[in-house]
Amino acid sequence: MPIRRIRVFPDPILRKKCRVVRRVDDKVTDLANDMIETLDAAGGVGLAANQVGALQRVVILHLPGDEDSIVLINPEIRDTEGEREVIEGCLSFPGFEGMVKRSVTVKARWLDENGSKMKITTEDLFAQALEHEIDHLNGILYIDHLLEHEKLATAGSYVDPEEPHMHDVEVELHADHSDDDDAEPEESDIEVVHTTIKFSDLYSEDSVDKMHYDLRKTGYVIDPPKPTDQTHDHVESDDPHLDGGVILDPDHSH
């Protein structure tokens, strides 16, 4: 069961329509098994056969938290309901993602690896993956669904304009150089420095430390912020960009 090479955009096979599988035979199950291995090696959620160079209507899904992958032969969407906007990526566009519209509920049917008829009504990632992978079988890619005002973004960098997000902040530092801590400082003891804190350069908690280092380098030693002390400024998010007690500019808009 070899791992197959995943075709990357703009490989023309990604634009080809896959053929209906007439008989679930050994060739089809071999292909499905290769695809299961390929998908797991890539760490993805779904894979369509044309992504590994086979023009057959075969899809593998491996939903996070599920132990096993699902083999879907000749999958078809029977009905959809609702609309939602989701951030999506694809193994054929490594390192990119974008905002697309997907259905809330998807009804689908397919044959499993034994040729048995399966059907489901589902939501969330399962529904999204069904739409994404069945599109692949028809030569349709998620970039075709990118919302007009959106474009592909580097994976992990997407910001929802409705959500708090990070950008560089202009700050004015007042450095008190007077010796006496208790006395009111003379105006001549105050140094005013304008600088930019590059939150947009932060990619992980490590780089929060790097930012402190950068500020120290420019002569402004600050104590590392304690996120718990800054509850009003701290952003709880799964997005690593938004971790670490970041100060957000409430007036900022894109």
Nearest distance, CB of residue 46 and Ni ion, angstroms: 6
CB of 44 or CB of 244, closer to Ni ion: 44
Site string for Ni ion, 152-181 (x = CB under 5 A): ------------------------------
CB of 93 or CB of 110, closer to Ni ion: 93
Residue whose entry in the numeric block shows the structure tokens 């894109």: 254
Nearest distance, CB of residue 202 and Ni ion, angstroms: 29
Catalytic residue among 97, 113, 133, 205: 133
Nearest distance, CB of residue 136 and Ni ion, angstroms: 6
CA distance 126 to 136: 15
Nearest distance, CB of residue 141 and Ni ion, angstroms: 7
| Residue 238 identity (one-letter amino acid) | D
Structural Rg of the chain based on CA atoms: 25
CB of 31 or CB of 208, closer to Ni ion: 31
| Residue 120 identity (one-letter amino acid) | I
CB of 72 or CB of 90, closer to Ni ion: 90
Per rule CB under 5 A, is residue 36 in the interface with Ni ion? Answer: no
CB 202 within 8 A of CB 235: no
133 is catalytic: yes
CB 78 within 8 A of CB 130: no
CB of 45 or CB of 211, closer to Ni ion: 45
Q: How many amino acids of this chain bind Ni ion (CB under 5 A)?
A: 1
Using the rule CB under 5 A, which residue among 70, 90, 106, 208 binds Ni ion?
A: 90
Sequence-distant contacts of 22-29: CB under 8 A, at least 24 apart: 24/73, 24/111, 24/113, 24/114, 24/115, 28/56, 28/58, 28/73, 29/113
Report which residue's Cβ sits closest to Ni ion.
90
Contacts of 182 (CB under 8 A, 6+ apart): none
Residue whose entry in the numeric block shows the structure tokens 């998807």: 106
Nearest distance, CB of residue 139 and Ni ion, angstroms: 12
Hey, what's the torsion of the CAs at 192, 193, 196, 199, to 10 degrees?
-70
Active-site residue set: 133
Interface residue list for Ni ion (CB under 5 A): 90
